[in-house]
């Protein structure tokens, strides 16, 4: 790990911090092109990520987290969607409506991806070796022998035992945890500056989840990568990330450092997520599930999209558009009554 192709030493210079964010998503709007018109799925998302920083993106199912990842990877068109507005600044370049010729230099090379399903991410009819060699040689032409050596090294970096044997195997022969490690190894093949991991531990048992999260934390520190970690689970984000962006119905609801945002939220939805956590629930006390259901895309309510479920909501919340993020205390919040929430609830 210390002297291989992924060592920090080899990356000196690439990681010079110029004080600018590595990634800045500003007022992003994304929609699906349907026969009856555009169906908005993200409106509006904002996210700022520094070099080597880890940000967690949390929100209930359907809030647009995976579509946000696809926006950062330039794969929206494969899913019938496109950027309708806003910016995706990666270093000095706006990738929001960049052509494929630009994306193909960024995707998988400067931005690595661990998809939501490791089963979908690996091709079942091609062995691990071929897939790893393809990932390694995608931007760095080299002999197959050298690429195979690097593949073994990458599998060792993600702590896969018997790496040479595993290279000969197919995804269906591997456990869920091993598949996820292979996906992470493949995502690291081009030494990305940013790793996007979309729920990398969903569907794994608790012990394996812990191992994969520890692996991701270690790799991002050792390789000096920035990380976007998508999860339903605030506990996971608290363990791994520096900052947090809360998404609901396609919009950013709150953002800030993990420690402040989780424990002194300035948005009722973040507080509701916190209060429904299983890991911090008091024994014998019923969990406070969030009342109601999130809206489906295409039928967001007017005004604040959270008002049908919000304990603080009133007529003012129902009017106009979804509130935009503004600074309150140490974070950004999209609640018009954020000041009423005080300085913490623990």
Ligand X SMILES: Nc1ncnc2c1ncn2[C@@H]1O[C@H](COP(=O)(O)OP(=O)(O)OP(=O)(O)O)[C@@H](O)[C@H]1O
> Contact positions toward ligand X, by CB under 6 A?
32, 39, 41, 59, 61-67, 79-80, 116, 232, 296-297
Centre a 10 Å sphere on the Cβ of residue 39 and count the other Cβ atoms it contains: 13
Which partner, ligand X, Mg ion, ligand SF4, none, binds residue 5 by CB below 5 to 8 Å per kind?
none
Q: Contact region for ligand SF4 (CB under 6 A) — 24-32, 128-136, 162-170, 334-342?
A: 334-342
Which residue's CB comes closest to Mg ion? 66
294 binds ligand SF4 (CB under 6 A): no
336 binds ligand SF4 (CB under 6 A): yes
Instruction: Indicate which single residue of 90, 268, 273, 297 sits in contact with ligand SF4 (rule: CB under 6 A).
Output: 268
Task: Report the residue number, 90 or 307, with the smaller CB distance to ligand SF4.
Answer: 307
Task: Report the residue number, 62 or 301, with the smaller CB distance to ligand SF4.
Answer: 301
Instruction: Indicate which single residue of 41, 310, 325, 332 sits in contact with ligand SF4 (rule: CB under 6 A).
Output: 310
Q: Do residues 243 and 257 lie in contact, with contact meaning Cβ atoms separated by under 8 Å?
A: yes
Instruction: Indicate which single residue of 66, 71, 171, 322 sits in contact with Mg ion (rule: CB under 5 A).
Output: 66
Q: Contact region for ligand SF4 (CB under 6 A) — 84-92, 177-185, 186-194, 335-343?
A: 335-343
Task: Report the residue number, 16 or 35, with the smaller CB distance to ligand X.
Answer: 35
Task: Report the residue number, 100 or 339, with the smaller CB distance to ligand SF4.
Answer: 339
112 binds ligand SF4 (CB under 6 A): no
3-state per-residue secondary structure call for the chain: CCCCCCCHHHHCCCCCCCCCCCEEEEEEEEEEEECCEEEEEEEEEEEEECCCCEEEEECCCCCCHHHHHHHHHCCHHHHCEEEEEEEEEECCEECCCCCHHHHHHHECCCEEEECCCHHHHCCCCCCHHHHHHHHHHCCCCCCHHHHHHHHHHHHHHCCCCCHHHHHCCCHHHCCHHHHHHHHHHHHHCCCCCEEEEECCCCCCCHHHHHHHHHHHHHHHHHHCCEEEEEECCHHHHHHHCCEEEEEECCEEEEEEEHHHHHHCCCCHHHHHHHHCCCCCCCCCCCCCCCCCCCCCCCCCCCCCCCHHHCCCCCHHHHCCCCCCCEEECCEEECCCCHHHHCCCCC
Which partner, ligand X, ligand SF4, Mg ion, none, binds residue 306 by CB below 5 to 8 Å per kind?
ligand SF4
Task: Report the residue number, 4 or 301, with the smaller CB distance to ligand SF4.
Answer: 301
Please give the size of the binding site for ligand SF4, defined by CB under 6 A.
13
Task: Report the residue number, 64 or 313, with the smaller CB distance to ligand SF4.
Answer: 313
Residue numbers at the binding site for ligand SF4 (CB under 6 A) = 267-268, 304, 306-307, 310, 312-313, 317, 323, 335-337
Residue numbers at the binding site for Mg ion (CB under 5 A) = 65-66
């Amino acid at each position: 790990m210390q002297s291989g192709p992924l060592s920090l030493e080899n990356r000196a210079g690439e990681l010079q911090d110029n004080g600018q964010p590595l990634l800045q998503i500003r007022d992003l709007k994304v929609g699906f092109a349907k026969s009856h018109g555009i169906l908005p799925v993200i409106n509006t998302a904002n996210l700022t990520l520094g070099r080597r920083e880890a940000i967690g993106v949390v929100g209930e199912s359907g809030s647009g987290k995976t579509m946000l990842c696809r926006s950062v990877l330039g794969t929206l068109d494969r899913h019938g969607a496109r950027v309708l507005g806003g910016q995706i600044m990666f270093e000095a370049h706006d990738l929001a409506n960049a052509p494929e010729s630009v994306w193909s230099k960024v995707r998988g090379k400067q931005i690595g991806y661990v998809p939501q399903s490791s089963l979908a991410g690996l091709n079942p009819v091609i062995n691990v070796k071929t897939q790893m060699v393809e990932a390694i040689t995608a931007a760095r032409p080299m002999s197959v022998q050298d690429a195979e050596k690097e593949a073994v090294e990458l599998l060792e970096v993600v702590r896969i035992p018997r790496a040479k044997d595993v290279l000969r195997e197919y995804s269906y022969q591997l456990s869920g945890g091993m598949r996820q490690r292979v996906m992470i190894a493949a995502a690291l093949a081009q030494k990305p500056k940013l790793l996007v991991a979309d729920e990398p531990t969903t569907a794994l048992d608790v012990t394996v989840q812990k191992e994969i999260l520890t692996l991701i934390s270690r790799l991002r520190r050792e390789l000096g990568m920035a990380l976007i970690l998508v999860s339903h689970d605030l506990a996971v984000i608290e363990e791994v990330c520096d900052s947090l962006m809360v998404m609901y119905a396609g919009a950013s609801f709150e953002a800030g450092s993990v420690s402040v945002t989780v424990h002194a939220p300035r948005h009722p939805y973040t507080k509701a997520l916190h209060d429904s956590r299983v890991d911090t629930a008091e024994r014998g006390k019923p969990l406070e599930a969030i009342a109601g259901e999130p809206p489906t895309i295409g039928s967001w309510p007017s005004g604040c999209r959270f008002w049908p479920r919000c304990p603080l909501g009133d007529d003012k919340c129902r009017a106009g558009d979804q509130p935009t993020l503004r600074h309150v205390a140490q974070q950004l919040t999209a609640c018009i009554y954020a000041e009423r929430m005080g300085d913490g609830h623990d």
